[in-house]
Amino acid sequence: MAKMKLFIVPSADFATTAGDYVARRMFDFGDAVSFVLGTATGGTMEGIYSTLVGKARRDSDLGLCLRTAHYFGMDEYVGLEPDNPQSYEFFMKKHLLAPLGTPTRNLKLPSEKTVLASPLAEDGRSVYDQMIFDVGGIDLQLAGIGENGHLAFNEPGSMRTSWARRVELAPGTKEANARFFSNSSEVPCEAYTMGIQTILRAKSVVLCASGKKKARAVQRMIEGRPGSDCPASFLLDHGDVTVFLDWDAASDLRSGLYT
């Protein structure tokens, strides 16, 4: 089991520090014009994407890399149209693609078409998984962690061998996401999610978490053992994971074993 590289950063510096790290790592995977980025969404990611956009405007090499990259989203709600402000496609266009001038066609997300409507391969992988493999796999996967330890929308109980699929969201996940909607009845009950197996095949993973509400899940992920009760803990089986936490998210950690 490899150690995770862990950085604990003051909240005021969190987005800049994590964004700078991601920008540097983008040039570690060969040809920058065919870079493959796995994307995550949420409030923590907004600041990181803003940092990347700002750096790309000052650095032509980074700008070219981000404008020509392949983007694969970790998840998407069932039933939301792409122009819905709460859809993850809308989020990615608003916070990263549009500010950079990146074509929308460069972004792919799991959907009914790529997860359910097309035949699966013999090993169970979906068309979405195959699309990722066809471009050489994900170079750098950005990720967050849910308050219950979910990774993408792989809720507790998800298996390490899972592929992209349609899932039912846990009650706690729906409650946490309700703040983004005008009333609780609008919160989707289901989503399409990248599977754990595909996430673990990324060459490198950068997981970012902030806020006290994430502290318990962070402690379980880092100081426990890989297990389906906390799907993010399967990242302990990955050889190249870097974790950025603010002090609140790190507040339940019990050891100093991770550097």
**CB-CB neighbours of 125 under 10 Å:** 17
Domain count for the chain, please give it. 1
* pLDDT tens for each residue of 88-107: 999 999 999 999 999 999 99
Residue 252: inside a domain: no
Residue 160: inside a domain: yes
* CA dist., res. 129 & res. 133, Å (int): 6
Which among 75, 139, 147, 246 is annotated as catalytic? Answer: 75
Query: Is residue 95 flagged as an active site residue?
Result: no
Burial class (CB in 10 A: 0-12, 13-18, 19+), 35: buried
Which among 70, 89, 129, 150 is annotated as catalytic? Answer: 150
- Residues 155-187 as b or e (16 or more Cβ within 10 Å = b): bbebebebbbbbbebbeebeebbeeeeeeeeeb
Domain that holds residue 143: 5-246
Residue 186: inside a domain: yes
Query: Is residue 46 flagged as an active site residue?
Result: no
Residue 257: inside a domain: no
* CA dist., res. 142 & res. 55, Å (int): 17
Residue 242: inside a domain: yes
Q: What is the CATH number of the domain that holds 88?
A: 3.40.50.1360
* CA dist., res. 196 & res. 214, Å (int): 20
Residue 253: inside a domain: no
Report, as an integer, the average pLDDT of 225-241.
96
Secondary structure (3-state) at 238: coil
Which among 95, 148, 154, 177 is annotated as catalytic? Answer: 148
Query: Is residue 148 flagged as an active site residue?
Result: yes
What is the dihedral sign for C-alpha 46, 175, 142, 121? negative
Residue 119: inside a domain: yes
pLDDT at position 254 is 85
Residue 126: inside a domain: yes
Which among 76, 89, 139, 155 is annotated as catalytic? Answer: 155
- Lowest mean pLDDT, pick from 44-48, 123-127, 210-214, 221-225: 123-127
Query: Is residue 84 flagged as an active site residue?
Result: no
